[in-house]
Structure 1
Amino acid sequence: MSDWMVTQSPSRGRRPRALSPLAEHLRDTFWFAPTAAMVCVFAVWAGAQLLDTALVEALQEDGEYDTLEELMRFADDAKAVVNAVSSAMMTFIGVVFSISLVAVQMASGQFTPRVVRLFVRSRITKATFAVFLATFVLTLLVLTSFDSADDPRAVTSVPLLQSVLTLGMVALSLLLFVLYVNSTLRLMRISQVIARIATESFRVVASMPVPMEDGDPAGLGPQTAWVPHEGRAGVLRDVHIARLVRVARKHGVVLRLLPRIGDFVVPGMPVLAVHGGPVPPRRALRRAVSVGVERTYHQDLGFGLRQLVDIALRALSSAINDPTTAVQALDRVVQFLAALSRRPLDTARHRDRDGAVRLVQPLPGWTELVDLGFTEVRGCAVGSPQVCRRLLAGLEDLLLLAPPERREPLLRHRELLRQAVGLAAPTPADRAFALRPDRQGIG
């Protein structure tokens, strides 16, 4: 069995640092960014109000009443602009929300429901909503700062800096709106969706532990206990690797994750096996395992591949009948498998700072990933020469890249595809055409 193992050696170079489970979960939510933006804008407004008040007091102390009158006239003009912005911003927010709903509905119906996550994780979408809501809140706060007094000696505040800040937020909102429309239109194109899925999948690969060359001669030791899952049933989304490694090191044990990321777990099901010592306290393992209603990209090596296959299957269905989209999805499937063709799989061994193995995490094996990428598509591709030719070309490319011990599943899928096409093709000429490898399908 091959292993992934963490190393602390600086000579191996730095690998991309994975986000913590909390950061990944916040990326999968839509409420955090707008809420944080509104809190921040409130703090910024409070600071701007203090500066405006200090400016008015300084001018009054210096007797600069003419300058103060000019500022008051500017504030009167700015008040009309702020009123207009406050009224228009809610309309803008409604337009953005409507565009998002339409885009999500079209993408989930035409591609796969699992691509909705791409819209939820879109930074530009969150930034647009956050800035729009923050601008609206800022306009309401600025309107409360206008003083009704006409005498420069009696005025207490002139929202000069606040008005400039509001105009800056409006300009930023307009810029983000243009970027948002452009980003949404890109995400409604299937090629962009497939490319984004591939990008997220390669981030998972890049964040996996680096294999150590010297291997791990020491065994895990006898299994002394196991830890059951407590809480609701659901999909195992991720585990807090750093916390589990710290707990295992503190108590002198090795923890082994029993289900794979993406498996469905129920209360009472064993999730962690303990080797070499007693079970750590339950409070130390609390919130180390995250369960949700659906899979996420974080730590899930096969989730991106699952989405690419779903898109290809939807494209090959009789309702859509779009083999070109299936070919585009196969392009990324082949790319993903090619990147993993020579990398260790099956398990990930995470080490502490002293180099001792503290957490063992199961990963999909090479055969499982190949079957996931090709089995269902191969079954639906028999009636489409374009997809058959692309599938054969992908298998041929992978056979050139994969080491000899990993060629068996590729040869098996190639032979099964040839047999299926041989049975389905009406004439020898059709069979020969469909079984001719072509990276573009039929160009």
Structure 2
Amino acid sequence: MRDTLRAQLWPLPTLGVTLAIAAGVGMPRMDKRIRDDMPPLLRDYLFSGNADAARSVLAAIAGSLVTVTALTFSLTVLTLQLASSQFSPRLLRTFTADRYFQTTLALFLATFTYALTVLRTVHTGEDGQTEFVPQASVTLAFLLTLASVLALVVFLSHLAREIRVETMMSSVHSAADRTIHRLLPGEPEETGEPEKGEEGERREEADRARQNRAAKDRRGAPPEPPPNTLTLTVGASGFLTSVDEEALLKAAVAADAVLLIDRGPGSSLIIGTPMGAAWPRDGEPFAPETRARLVEAVAEAVITGSERTDLQDIAFGLRQLTDIAAKALSPGVNDPTTAVHALSHSSALLCDLAQRDLGPHLLFDDDQQVRVVLRRPTLEDLLDLAVDQPLRYGAAEPAVLTRIAMLLREVAWSCAPGQQPPVIAALTRLRSTVEAQNLHPTERLRLTELTQLVEQALAGRWTHSPMP
């Protein structure tokens, strides 16, 4: 729920409007109470006009903020359309979760609502009413207007920066990096004394990494399902966004079973189709009521949504970067430089992932027995995701082929010997693609040399280019 709300435009503006209504009702009441006891020095800085002037100011503020809010919303929609059509529809979530957009809209709507709410409390003295001008309330409306003007300037500057493709790719890279470090903690490098605010997080990450390695040493290979297992089916169609690990473990212990979920986050699930299996630890068949409870509990623990998110999806960032590269290589765009930069970001993520445990995620009970096996993407899956489409769509572009070769070299240097087969398979595909293209002899020679450098990196050697 928190992740869903974070990617919506309405929660923060709604909160701003609610607070504005409360302030618009409370501030005039406070004005009435302190009107006679207000210090003269403070009164000099407050609004000093009559009721008609206060009404004019508040009406001007409300009218102008409606126009500015409409402009801001229009620019936001245009930005979303640009990101969707020119780069990738998967980038819309990054924009809608941007706090600058949400905060700016919240401030504009709050100022508009506050001005209207205060306007109703201003009395001109007609129709037998006592003239009342909430000086502090009108002054606060003026200050909110100044803040809105500054926010508009910041918003336009932020928008101009956000629509740049380099900024988009950096945002995707940062979000993917946070997801990787949250789901696949690794031993932090000793880089001197950590900063005070980071020390607790680094120690916690190191503890999780040690626990993961200890668990991996205990478990060996994940348990294989026996021939006759209980098929677990999908409860709702959509993209697998997250798995409630605690609920799965609790259900497995209650049924004295072992669960296997062989669909990872980001997979497209169809209701009623298999997504895993369950089998009893003692070999005895499940009782009918146990079987029903287990199937229902697993279906509720596997959460689906209408779109992919980075909540538990390690591959989502690579999917976004690959989309950008594929779109840049389309005939209508023809921007190989953007594709090369996207591959650079993908290479950085792959090099990090290659140094982490990408095997199945195992959940243990209190007796340290495996109860749940969750699928995670392998290095082969991730490498295919990052390389296959750019290699296909950029097969005739030497710059793209060169960057793919460099990516394989960098990943080959970073991965352990046991993870080299996917790199070797990708290198074979790259060589086949190069041989099938009608390239200039100089370009073909350069690519051949780069593929040889990939082989050297697989062997643990890195040849440096001579200085010019």
Residue of structure 1 in register with 2:388 after alignment: 375
1:229 is the counterpart of 2:242 = no
Deviation at 1:24, TM superposition (A): 0.5
Residue of structure 2 in register with 1:411 after alignment: 424
Taking the aligned partners of 1:108 and 1:71, their CA distance within structure 2 comes to 47
Q: Residue deviations 1:269-328, cap 9 Å, x none?
A: 344645558354788668543322221121111111111111111111222111111110
Deviation at 1:195, TM superposition (A): 0.8
Taking the aligned partners of 1:322 and 1:185, their CA distance within structure 2 comes to 20
Q: Residue deviations 1:105-161, cap 9 Å, x none?
A: 22222212222222211111111111111111111101111123389x974854233
Taking the aligned partners of 1:298 and 1:97, their CA distance within structure 2 comes to 27
Q: Any conservation in 2 of the 1:253–1:274 contact (CA below 8 Å)?
A: yes
Deviation at 1:27, TM superposition (A): 1.5
Equivalent residue runs for 1:65-144 within 5 Å: 73=49, 76-144=52-120
Q: Any conservation in 2 of the 1:258–1:270 contact (CA below 8 Å)?
A: no
Taking the aligned partners of 1:108 and 1:362, their CA distance within structure 2 comes to 30
Q: Residue deviations 1:67-109, cap 9 Å, x none?
A: 89x9774665443221111011111011112212222222222
Equivalent residue runs for 1:421-432 within 5 Å: 421-432=434-445
Cα separation, partners in 2 of 1:327 and 1:131, compared to 1, 3 Å: same
Q: Any conservation in 2 of the 1:35–1:130 contact (CA below 8 Å)?
A: yes
Aligned letter for 2:234? Answer: H
* Further displaced range: 319-328 or 235-244: 235-244
Taking the aligned partners of 1:184 and 1:244, their CA distance within structure 2 comes to 42
Taking the aligned partners of 2:130 and 2:346, their CA distance within structure 1 comes to 68
Residue of structure 1 in register with 2:176 after alignment: 201
Q: Any conservation in 2 of the 1:75–1:163 contact (CA below 8 Å)?
A: no
Taking the aligned partners of 2:14 and 2:121, their CA distance within structure 1 comes to 23
**1:343 alignment partner, SS class:** coil
Taking the aligned partners of 2:335 and 2:157, their CA distance within structure 1 comes to 25
Equivalent residue runs for 1:191-270 within 5 Å: 191-210=166-185, 211=209, 212-215=212-215, 217=218, 225=230, 227-231=232-236, 233-245=237-249, 255-270=259-274
Taking the aligned partners of 2:326 and 2:247, their CA distance within structure 1 comes to 39
Taking the aligned partners of 2:312 and 2:432, their CA distance within structure 1 comes to 36
Q: Any conservation in 1 of the 2:47–2:139 contact (CA below 8 Å)?
A: no
**2:361 alignment partner, SS class:** strand
Q: CA RMSD in A?
A: 3.4
Residue of structure 2 in register with 1:325 after alignment: 338
Cα separation, partners in 2 of 1:397 and 1:220, compared to 1, 3 Å: closer
Residue of structure 2 in register with 1:171 after alignment: 146
Aligned letter for 1:400? Answer: W
Residue of structure 1 in register with 2:34 after alignment: 55
Residue of structure 2 in register with 1:19 after alignment: none
Q: Any conservation in 1 of the 2:310–2:316 contact (CA below 8 Å)?
A: yes
Aligned letter for 2:23? Answer: V
Residue of structure 1 in register with 2:461 after alignment: none
Aligned letter for 2:120? Answer: T
**2:304 alignment partner, SS class:** strand
Residue of structure 1 in register with 2:23 after alignment: 44
Taking the aligned partners of 2:355 and 2:311, their CA distance within structure 1 comes to 22
**2:362 alignment partner, SS class:** strand
**2:239 alignment partner, SS class:** strand
* Further displaced range: 279-288 or 261-270: 279-288
Gaps of 5+ in 1: 1-21
Taking the aligned partners of 1:164 and 1:354, their CA distance within structure 2 comes to 66
Q: Residue deviations 1:10-64, cap 9 Å, x none?
A: xxxxxxxxxxxx11111222222222221222223333233223224x659xxx9
Q: Any conservation in 2 of the 1:367–1:409 contact (CA below 8 Å)?
A: yes
Residue of structure 2 in register with 1:7 after alignment: none
Residue of structure 1 in register with 2:155 after alignment: 180
Alignment partner of 2:310 out of 289, 297, 302: 297
Deviation at 1:339, TM superposition (A): 0.4
Q: Any conservation in 1 of the 2:47–2:138 contact (CA below 8 Å)?
A: no
Report the number of matched residues.
410
* Further displaced range: 37-46 or 193-202: 37-46
Aligned letter for 1:113? Answer: P
Residue of structure 2 in register with 1:23 after alignment: 2
Deviation at 1:420, TM superposition (A): 2.0
Deviation at 1:228, TM superposition (A): 3.4
1:161 is the counterpart of 2:136 = yes
1:35 is the counterpart of 2:14 = yes
Deviation at 1:187, TM superposition (A): 1.9
* Further displaced range: 291-300 or 188-197: 291-300
Aligned letter for 1:388? Answer: L
Taking the aligned partners of 1:424 and 1:380, their CA distance within structure 2 comes to 12
1:349 is the counterpart of 2:362 = yes
**1:318 alignment partner, SS class:** coil
Please, what TM-score do these two structures have when normalized by structure 2? 0.77
Taking the aligned partners of 2:276 and 2:135, their CA distance within structure 1 comes to 60
Taking the aligned partners of 1:247 and 1:75, their CA distance within structure 2 comes to 67
Aligned letter for 1:264? Answer: S
**1:213 alignment partner, SS class:** helix
Taking the aligned partners of 1:112 and 1:337, their CA distance within structure 2 comes to 20
Taking the aligned partners of 1:171 and 1:353, their CA distance within structure 2 comes to 59
Taking the aligned partners of 1:52 and 1:37, their CA distance within structure 2 comes to 22
Cα separation, partners in 2 of 1:180 and 1:283, compared to 1, 3 Å: farther
Residue of structure 1 in register with 2:165 after alignment: 190
Q: Residue deviations 1:386-443, cap 9 Å, x none?
A: 111111112112111111111122122223222322331344333113445499xxxx
Taking the aligned partners of 1:186 and 1:199, their CA distance within structure 2 comes to 16
